[in-house]
């Protein structure tokens, strides 16, 4: 970790109001540690969040931040990065925010490959609205609004990302602190859109996808000697394997070229001279 910046420098003076035991505590700590480890500091970090339990993270982290509109965090993050390429942009969301109302933005953020990271706190339920089925809930997951289960298969966010042209796809578990930090750090260091789906258990409304469930069922790709993140076909096979839950970098394109670099968007917009005329009357008359 940098001798100048500690992860505690990213902690604000606001106390989180997440439920005791919420997986989002571990998710956020790993994000802060990864930012410090990669040499970033609060003055060059911009956190964007949407709506849901994850949306509060910008308040709890000491950095520039925007608490945006439901499902719209990604285009805001992309705009921030293109306006000021020198900023480290990290978008935080939840499975409801990102894979439901925000699914369209997710697809296009992935394919544009803007150089920013996206950490999704996936608890497989709508927690802030007190326990409805989310896009990643199991087909038979019983909730107050789906007493017999959603009766539809869950969204596979990694498959959606891969099909959309993702250059970095990873999955982590918030309780596995060091591994989670390491994975988020790799997403930050990636040249392009670094997507991390983080299992972040909801201890209040989800008694199925628990800490114990993930501890017992996660397969860590770091333990597989033959795993090559650059192998697209192998990554596809793992992503489509519904019998296993993986942790680690599933896919990374080593030839990734970020959107800004590809299109020459490397200038801070604040440094661009203002070309707007003081009086726009003559300009308007050209068209009317």
Task: Report whether pLDDT(198) > 70.
Answer: yes
Cβ atoms of 205 and 166 closer than 8 Å: no
CA-wise closest residue to 125 among 15, 214, 199: 199
Kindly list the distances between the CA atom of residue 99 and the CA atoms of 42, 137, 173, 199, in Å, as whole numbers in the listed order: 28, 11, 18, 14
The radius of gyration computed from the CA coordinates of the chain, to the nearest angstrom, equals 20
Cα dihedral across residues 36, 86, 25, 161: positive or negative = negative
pLDDT band at 84; cut points 50, 70, 90:
very high
Q: How far, in Å, CA of 189 to CA of 249, rounded?
A: 13
**Weakest-pLDDT range from 119-123, 225-229, 246-250:** 225-229
CA-wise closest residue to 181 among 252, 86, 254, 248: 248
pLDDT digits (tens, 9 = 90+) for 146-164: 999 999 999 999 999 999 9
Task: Report whether pLDDT(226) > 80.
Answer: yes
Residue 228's CB is within 10 A of a number of other CB atoms, namely 12
Task: Report whether pLDDT(6) > 80.
Answer: yes
Q: How far, in Å, CA of 283 to CA of 131, rounded?
A: 55
Task: Report whether pLDDT(1) > 60.
Answer: no
pLDDT band at 235; cut points 50, 70, 90:
very high
Find residue 206's DSSP bridge partners: none
Is the pTM of the predicted complex or chain greater than 0.85?
A: yes
Beta strands in the chain (DSSP E): 45-49, 64-67, 88-94, 117-122, 168-173, 194-199, 218-220, 245-252
Burial category of 34 from C-beta neighbours within 10 Å (exposed 0-12, middle 13-18, buried 19 and up): buried
The pLDDT value given to residue 63: 97
Q: Can you list the domains of the chain with their CATH numbers?
A: 7-285 (3.40.50.970)
Cβ atoms of 232 and 224 closer than 8 Å: no
């Amino acid at each position: 970790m940098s001798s100048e910046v500690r992860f505690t420098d990213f902690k604000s003076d606001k106390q989180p109001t997440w439920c005791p035991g919420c997986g989002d505590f571990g998710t956020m700590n790993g994000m802060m540690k990864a930012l410090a480890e990669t040499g970033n500091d609060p003055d060059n970090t911009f956190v964007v969040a949407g709506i849901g339990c994850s949306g509060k993270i910008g308040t709890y982290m000491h950095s520039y931040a925007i608490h945006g509109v439901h499902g719209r965090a990604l285009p805001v993050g992309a705009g921030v990065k293109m306006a000021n390429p020198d900023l480290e942009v990290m978008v935080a969301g939840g499975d409801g925010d990102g894979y439901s109302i925000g699914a369209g933005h997710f697809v296009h953020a992935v394919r544009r490959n803007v150089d920013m990271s996206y950490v999704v706190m996936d608890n497989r339920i709508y927690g802030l609205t007190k326990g409805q089925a989310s896009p990643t809930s199991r087909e038979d997951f019983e909730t107050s609004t789906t007493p017999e289960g959603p009766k539809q298969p869950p969204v596979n966010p990694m498959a959606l990302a891969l099909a959309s042209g993702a250059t970095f796809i990873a999955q982590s578990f918030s309780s596995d602190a060091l591994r989670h930090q390491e994975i988020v750090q790799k997403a930050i260091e990636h040249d392009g859109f670094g997507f991390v789906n983080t299992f972040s258990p909801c201890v209040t409304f989800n008694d199925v996808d628990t800490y114990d469930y993930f501890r017992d069922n996660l397969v860590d790709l770091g333990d597989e000697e033959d795993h090559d993140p650059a192998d697209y076909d192998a990554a596809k096979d793992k992503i489509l394997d519904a019998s296993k839950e993986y942790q680690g970098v599933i896919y990374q394109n080593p030839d990734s070229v970020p959107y800004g670099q590809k299109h020459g968007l490397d200038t801070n917009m604040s440094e661009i001279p203002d070309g707007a005329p003081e009086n726009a009357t003559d300009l308007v008359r050209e068209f009317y």
